[in-house]
Structure formats: structure tokens, C-alpha cells
């Protein structure tokens, strides 16, 4: 893929004729795949696509984000799903891409926009998830791009006036990436703008400021051992619990 030779991690359901191929050649712009270098070279000579086939919605120097509608760009999005399945164990979606939007991060140079990673998002999520699937390609990992992709997903949720959370279960690498982002975001909020730590903050306030759900905020604070419970409130509920237990019923 481009200038990189990548070893896949998991199985992806490419057509059966690719099962015996020693190498699969992937066009890094249109994501078409070929089993022979000759046919791949012919395609590259004629391919006119130099960026993902969607709307560029963000640009900062050489980094861009593109929004691609799965219904309008079925072939490209299906190719993206097949490619990402090589590196995601939990991914099960390959062909039904119509209900999803794909947000692709690219690195731009003189040759075009090179795909770095992406996340997909349901157009209408009953559970309110802001990410269905997320991936940074192996050749671009350990460079901070994954954290930028996660931050972008939460910025979209903030602009929509919603609280976001990724669809579960997360992959192993996805969970590590999200935990790192959640912890850094919560600690930054608790430190305040001037570097002075907040004297007090509640979970709902932190969720509203970070566009994170209450469950994710609580999960992060528990991992950081930063939760403090009210002794009086704890004693009150403990008293009620034992009183109800003694009477073998509870109307609380």
C-alpha cells in the first residue's frame, strides 16, 4: 500500500481468488485491490483519485479530514472496511455501509492525500454512540494520530450538542487509545485554564465540558483513583439499606 509493505493481523473476506496470493496490492487512494503487480501498475497509471471521495471538512497544514457517505460511495467504503478488517478483530461490517458516515484522516504531500486512519459513525444511533469503528493504519501508528482521530470524534459530538461514547466492545488497541485520551482530557479539565487545580468538580460538569458520557467519565476517574464520596450521603444510604434488609423488603 503506497510505499509500505504491511503484514496483516487478522482475516479479511477478500474474494476467493486472493486466498493464494503472496501479496495483495492496494491503491492507497481508491483502495482498489489487486493480486498481481502488473494489473496494479496499470491501475495506478490510470487512477485519477488523489484523496478520499468526500467532503473535506477540516484542514490544518498537511492534515485533513474527509466525510464520506457510505450510501453515496459504496465501493470505496466497502474497500475501506475490507482493508480495516485486516487489523481489527471485532469488526463484522463489510458490505452494508449505507447507514454509516466515514471520517477519514489523511496526510497530504506532493502526490496526494494518504490515508492515515478513520472512524465510522452510524447516521442514526439508538444508543448515542459517536464512533462505530476506529482504526489508525499500522504504518502511521505511534505518532499521535490516533489521539487526534478520537479528539475529532468528540469535537463532532460537541458541535452536535451531544455526549459521545464509542461502540463497545473496543479492540485492544482501541481501548488503550481511548483510555489515554480520556485520562488526558479529564486531567486537563481538572487542572483548569491557568494550571491551578479545581477545588471541586462533579461528573456531569466534566462530561459536558468534554462531550463524554457520564459512564466514561466515571470509568476514567475510577482508573485514576480520583473519586471522592460524601461520607454523610454514604452513611444515609447504608442506614436505609440495613433498615430495609431487617424488614425483608424495600420500598425505597
Active-site annotation, residues: 167
**CA-CA distance, 223 to 225, in Å (whole number)?**
5
The H-or-E segment that residue 105 falls in is: strand 100-109
Residues counted in the chain:
252
Dihedral pair phi/psi, residue 122, rounded to 5°: -65, 140
Q: Which of 119, 102, 221, 106 is nearest to 166 (CA)?
A: 119
Whole-number Cα distances in Å, 79 to 123, 129, 171: 20, 23, 20
Contacts for 50-54 with beta carbons within 8 Å, 24 or more apart? 50/111, 50/112, 50/113, 51/106, 51/112, 51/113, 52/76, 52/104, 52/106, 52/113, 52/115, 54/102, 54/104
Residue 198: CB partners within 8 Å, gap ≥ 6? Answer: 189, 190, 191, 192
Q: Which of 150, 89, 91, 95 is nearest to 117 (CA)?
A: 150
Residue 19: CB partners within 8 Å, gap ≥ 6? Answer: none
Q: Which of 74, 68, 70 is nearest to 54 (CA)?
A: 68
In the DSSP assignment, the letter for residue 35 is S
Amino acid at each position: 500500500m503506497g510505499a509500505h509493505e504491511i503484514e496483516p493481523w487478522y482475516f479479511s473476506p477478500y474474494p476467493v481468488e486472493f486466498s493464494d496470493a503472496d501479496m495483495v496490492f492496494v491503491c492507497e487512494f481508491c483502495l482498489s485491490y489487486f493480486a498481481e503487480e502488473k494489473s496494479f501498475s496499470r491501475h495506478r497509471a490510470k487512477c485519477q483519485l488523489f484523496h478520499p471521495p468526500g467532503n473535506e471538512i477540516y484542514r490544518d497544514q498537511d492534515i485533513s479530514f474527509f466525510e464520506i457517505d457510505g450510501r453515496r460511495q459504496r465501493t470505496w467504503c466497502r474497500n475501506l472496511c475490507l482493508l480495516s478488517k485486516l487489523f481489527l478483530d471485532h469488526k463484522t461490517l463489510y458490505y452494508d455501509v449505507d447507514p454509516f458516515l466515514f471520517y477519514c484522516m489523511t496526510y497530504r504531500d506532493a502526490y496526494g492525500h494518504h490515508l492515515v486512519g478513520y472512524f465510522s459513525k452510524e447516521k442514526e444511533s439508538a444508543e448515542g454512540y459517536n464512533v462505530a469503528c476506529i482504526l489508525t493504519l499500522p504504518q502511521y501508528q505511534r505518532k499521535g494520530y490516533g489521539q487526534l482521530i478520537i479528539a475529532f470524534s468528540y469535537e463532532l459530538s460537541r458541535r452536535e450538542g451531544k455526549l459521545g461514547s464509542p461502540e463497545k466492545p473496543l479492540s485492544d488497541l482501541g481501548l488503550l487509545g481511548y483510555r489515554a485520551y480520556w485520562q488526558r482530557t479529564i486531567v486537563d479539565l481538572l487542572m483548569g485554564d491557568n494550571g491551578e487545580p479545581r477545588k471541586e468538580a462533579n461528573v456531569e460538569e466534566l462530561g459536558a465540558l468534554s462531550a463524554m458520557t457520564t459512564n466514561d467519565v466515571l470509568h476514567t476517574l475510577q482508573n485514576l483513583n480520583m473519586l471522592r464520596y460524601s461520607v454523610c450521603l454514604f452513611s444515609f444510604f447504608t442506614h436505609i439499606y440495613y433498615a430495609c434488609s431487617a424488614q425483608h423488603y424495600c420500598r425505597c
